[in-house]
């Protein structure tokens, strides 16, 4: 049991990669705080599934990750109910496709707030506890959109590139406190986010992926669990690309 006795916070844990990660960590012994923004019933369902499947404690916690005060209150509540957070998965995000010509400053602000300011807020709320206990493992979920041209996802791609930079910039200061921080850049994954795009686009994503299929949330959860575990003990500040080969495509 890789995470026996550890407390994990998974943001955006009610669905997709977040849900798969919460289940994965619980299967390896972690107590899990399942964060959600709007999907309270789904988060409660994930917690029930964790208890029913693995007899591990899991509780839902709500916050808008772009709201710093709300995040601070959430982390305080998690710490009170479950204990100091040992493992953090910054997964909450929103794509918000919009063409270059349609893009507005308001849309930019919202997407960047969720995808870049949000991970910063959660990280900054969690790190004092990790520093105090001299232990922490953090994974930020980026995207291959950060590494390639995405004209219909300009703010999303920019924010996810920022997540990679945040990861790199924090690894040195955190390392002296026995805190490792890495990121993962998923490709096209079969999650609810794909419901925002047309079936034609989904098929294009599938057909242009060298492995010939979409990724599964559980595959991303395996990568995240590896980065949180001591199997990756000499890794920090790194970004693991898990894209079925799509990073090879412009």
Across the chain, which has 250 residues, the per-10-residue mean pLDDT values are 97 97 98 96 97 97 98 98 98 88 94 97 98 98 90 91 98 98 94 73 85 95 98 98 82
Do 229 and 3 contact (CB within 8 A), yes or no? yes
pLDDT of residue 156: 93
Q: Which one is the CATH code of 7-188+217-241: 3.40.50.970, 3.50.50.60, 3.40.50.720, 1.20.120.350? A: 3.40.50.720
Q: What is the pLDDT of residue 80?
A: 98
Q: What pLDDT was estimated at residue 249?
A: 63
Q: How many other C-beta atoms can be found within 10 angstroms of the C-beta atom of residue 198? A: 9
The 3-state secondary structure of the chain reads CCCCCCEEEECCCCCHHHHHHHHHHHHCCCEEEEEECCCHHHHHHHHHHHHHHHCCCEEEEECCCCCHHHHHHHHHHHHHHHCCCCEEEECCCCCCCCCCCCCCHHHHHHHHHHHHHHHHHHHHHHHHHHHHHCCEEEEEECCHHHHCCCHHHHHHHHHHHHHHHHHHHHHHHHHCCCEEEEEEEECCECCHHHHHCCHHHHHHHHHCCCCCCCECHHHHHHHHHHHHCHHHCCCCCCEEEECCCHHHCC
Catalytic residue among 36, 51, 54, 156: 156
User: For residue 197, what pLDDT is reported?
Assistant: 65
CB atoms within 10 A of CB 73: 15
Task: Check if 54 is active-site.
Answer: no
């Amino acid at each position: 049991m890789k995470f026996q006795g550890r407390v994990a916070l998974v943001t955006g844990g009610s669905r997709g990669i977040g849900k798969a990660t919460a289940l994965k960590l619980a299967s390896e012994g972690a107590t899990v705080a399942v964060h959600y923004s709007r999907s309270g019933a789904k988060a409660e369902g994930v917690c029930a599934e964790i208890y029913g499947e693995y007899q591990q404690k899991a509780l839902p916690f709500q916050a808008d990750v772009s709201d710093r005060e709300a995040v601070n209150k959430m982390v305080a509540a998690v710490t009170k109910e479950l204990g100091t957070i040992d493992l953090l998965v910054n997964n909450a995000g929103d794509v918000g496709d919009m063409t270059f010509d349609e893009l507005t400053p308001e849309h930019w602000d919202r997407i960047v707030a969720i995808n870049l300011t949000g991970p910063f807020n959660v990280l900054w709320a969690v790190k004092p506890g990790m520093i105090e206990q001299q232990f922490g493992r953090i994974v930020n979920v980026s995207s291959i959109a950060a590494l390639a041209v995405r004209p219909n996802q300009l703010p999303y791609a920019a924010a996810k590139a920022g997540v990679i930079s945040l990861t790199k910039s924090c690894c040195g200061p955190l390392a002296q406190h026995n805190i490792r921080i890495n990121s993962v850049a998923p490709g096209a994954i079969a999650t609810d986010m794909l419901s925002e795009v047309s079936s034609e686009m989904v098929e294009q994503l599938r057909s242009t992926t060298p492995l010939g299929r979409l990724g599964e949330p559980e595959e991303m959860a395996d990568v995240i669990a590896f980065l949180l575990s001591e199997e990756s003990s000499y890794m920090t500040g790194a970004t693991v690309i898990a894209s079925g080969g799509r990073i090879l495509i412009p």
